Chains A and B, each alone.
Chain A
Amino acid sequence: MVQLVLKQINSIGESLISLVNGLGDFTLFVSRTIFWTFKPPYRVKLLFDQIYFMGNKSIFIIFLTSVFTGAVFAMQIYLGIKAINPDSFIGPIVTIALAKELAPVLSGLVVAGRCGAAMAAQIGSMKVTEQIDALEVMGINGYQYLAVPRILGAMISMPLLSAIFLLVGYTGAWLIATKVLMIDPTLYTQKISDFMNLGMVVEGLIKAAVFGYLIGVIGTYQGFNVTGGAEGVGKGTNMAVVWGMITVLVIDYFLTTFLAQIL
């Protein structure tokens, strides 16, 4: 019995130590990337390459996700509250939800899945094939060359993708509301301008930038921490996606609370 309890305590202790080690390691990684962000040379081409990869190459999937999110959301709101004459509410509810929550969060989940995984896989495979060591031997800092452009690229791309998500989602909802549910288009847009303000859009864009930063940091951190061979790369990629998505959802709550007070 005593042995069993001791084993349990030991196991909890080991988990705690591992958690603290992991947090320390992650904090060190973040501080290093911040340090190297401000150190020359500034690799603008690499940054634009990353913005192109994360932004431009994600547009199609963002388009698909957003148009159907807007359409389905409009339909669901209508079906949910049709007993109380919903024509005046659908526009503002869908658009505010898109601007403040759905656009940044769903864009974040898409980017975490697509780009977070790619970052971890690219950097992880470079690590196991000694390509990062090759950079270091040449005198090039791996964090500066590989992590910084990806983190900044994600931070810049995410608000752009989120804005596209909002516009396309709005269009999808508008089409369903006015062409399928036969809501008066003037009333639809009029009510949106009554209830919405610029602060709501800004809130969504700030969230998107923060999510982009976090997805970038998590994806690159997992890449740099890959050990072993192909199996390690797979594990790192998986961790980047899982932690990226969890972080977006958890941080969203705290950001919403925080931004509600300042905006």
Chain B
Amino acid sequence: MSEYSVEFKNVSKKFGESTILHDLNFGIHEGKITTILGFSGAGKTTLMKHILGLVKPTTGEVIVKGTTINELGELPLREFRRNFGMVFQYAALFDFLTSFENVAFPLREFTKLSEKEIQDKVLGLLESVGINREAAYKLPSELSGGMRKRVGLARGLALDPHIMLYDEPTSGLDPITTHMVYDLMKETHLRNISRGFSSIIISHDIHATIKYSDYIVFMEKGRVVEHLDTESFKRSENPVIRRFLEL
């Protein structure tokens, strides 16, 4: 059994003439919080799309939970994606559904649970992320940015995923809410760690990253500059990382 939940083996990605990812070789540790860090345009989002199988590498392999996902066909890949939960930059809640219905959505689509079971599970999930009953029946447009992120997290957790991805989870949030969201992510991770749950955060928020992550992958111009545990990362002598740390 691999110690990694996600592995990149010789992964390169080209769009037309421009190379976005250059020969990536690294693994994301299972059961840990790993942050993919870097400036804008470093290739973080493209990397995340490779993990989800939304983009296929030009060369190399992306192995998730022992499965080479770039070799999967369309339908098996869609099924495989149920291993992932995802929180989007601006939550990406379905705006025509209430918070409750947003969280219930994947359960209704992919499980055979009864409405009563769905209700219990959804309300439990919403409660675990600090959303009360009143807010559960509101539309996303009636919620604050922080609450939308919480509902997004609850929706991402609905199918008990093995890997949780967060794309710039604190974009547009004030500092207090930012820390609340990170605390929640950490709590969620610890609550699910017994089943090999891994959290992958795409971010450029260096200070929160250092506080909450176990590992940091630092990317620049499509290359992995460093992949270290957080303590080693803080001591890195790499000039690019030093510059980033001093921001």
Which residues between 64 and 106 of chain B lie within 8 Å of chain A, taking CB atoms?
A: 78-82, 84, 86, 88-90, 92-95, 105-106
CA distance A131 to B95 in the complex (A): 8
Are B106 and A138 within 8 A (Cβ)?
yes
Q: Is B17 an interface residue (CB 8 A)?
A: no
Separation of A38 and B224 alpha carbons in the complex (Å) = 43
A130 and B89 contact, CB distance less than 8 A: yes
B54 within 8 A of A: yes
Task: Number of B interface residues at 8 Å Cβ cutoff, please give it.
Answer: 21
Q: Is the CB of A138 within 8 A of B88?
A: no
B109 within 8 A of A: yes
Using Cβ atoms and an 8 Å threshold, which residues of chain A touch B86? 134, 137
User: Looking at B79, B84, B86, which has the most chain A CB atoms within 10 Å of its CB?
Assistant: B86
Residues of chain A within 8 A of B95, CB atoms compared: 125-126, 129, 131
Q: Which residues of B contact A141 (CB under 8 A)?
A: 78
Chain A's interface size range is 10 to 19
Residue B52 CB within 8 A of the other chain:
yes
Q: Are A139 and B110 in contact (CB-based, < 8 A)?
A: yes
Residues of B within 8 A of A131 (CB): 92-95
Chain B window 151-168, contacts with chain A (Cβ cutoff 8 Å), 1 for yes, 0 for no: 000000001000000000
B residues less than 8 Å from A136 (CB atoms): 54, 81
Taking a contact as CB atoms under 8 Å apart, the answer to whether A134 and B88 are in contact is yes
A133 on interface, CB distance cutoff 8 Å: yes
Cβ-based interface call for A12 (8 A): no
Q: Which B residues lie within 8 Å of A129 (CB)?
A: 90, 92, 95
Q: Which residues of A contact B105 (CB under 8 A)?
A: 138
A181 interface contact, C-beta 8 A: no
With both chains docked as a complex, state the minimum distance between the C-beta of B163 and any C-beta of chain A, in angstroms: 11
* Complexed CA–CA distance, A133 and B110 (Å): 17
Q: Which residues of A contact B80 (CB under 8 A)?
A: 139
**Chain B residues within an 8 Å CB radius of A230:** none
The answer for the CA separation of A67 and B89 in the assembled complex, in Å, is 50
1/0 per residue B94-125: CB within 8 Å of A? Answer: 11000000000110011000000000000000
- Among A125, A130, A137, A139, the residue within 8 A (CB) of B90 is A130
List B residues at the A interface (Cβ < 8 Å): 52, 54, 78-82, 84, 86, 88-90, 92-95, 105-106, 109-110, 159
